[in-house]
Amino acid sequence: MSVEVLDGATIVNFVEDEEAFTMSIRERFAHLDIDQDGLLSYTEMLKELQSLRVFETHFGIDVKREPEELARMVLEEDSLLKKAVERESTSARTVAAA
């Protein structure tokens, strides 16, 4: 397991890289569109919504976490945020090598 730093600039830079962002969105859409009809149904989106914690609330209120609990964000291998971090890491290595 690797630890990556994710900040606003990482996300903004990834979104502004139109080619990389568009490719990532198209890949994610294709992954979610199980029946390949070009539309996302509620059933197809359910797992994604659950992974984003959209349904992990009790009447709209997140479960209270203890202050000493370590908060971590696990980036799935094919997630948008993981791709943003990978893009930034690759760019940093390219600049450092130059």
Question: Per residue in 61-81, pLDDT tens?
Answer: 566 555 444 334 445 666 766
On average, the pLDDT of the chain sits at 73
Q: Specify the 3-state DSSP secondary structure of 57.
A: strand
Backbone angles phi, psi at 58, to 5 degrees: -110, 105
The answer to whether 23 and 82 are in contact (CB under 8 A) is no
Judged against a pLDDT cut of 70, whether residue 28 lies above it is answered with yes
Work out the number of other CB atoms within 10 angstroms of the CB of residue 54: 11
Q: How far apart are the first and last CA of the chain?
A: 28
Averaged over 41-47, what is the pLDDT? Answer: 80
Amino acid identity, position 93: R
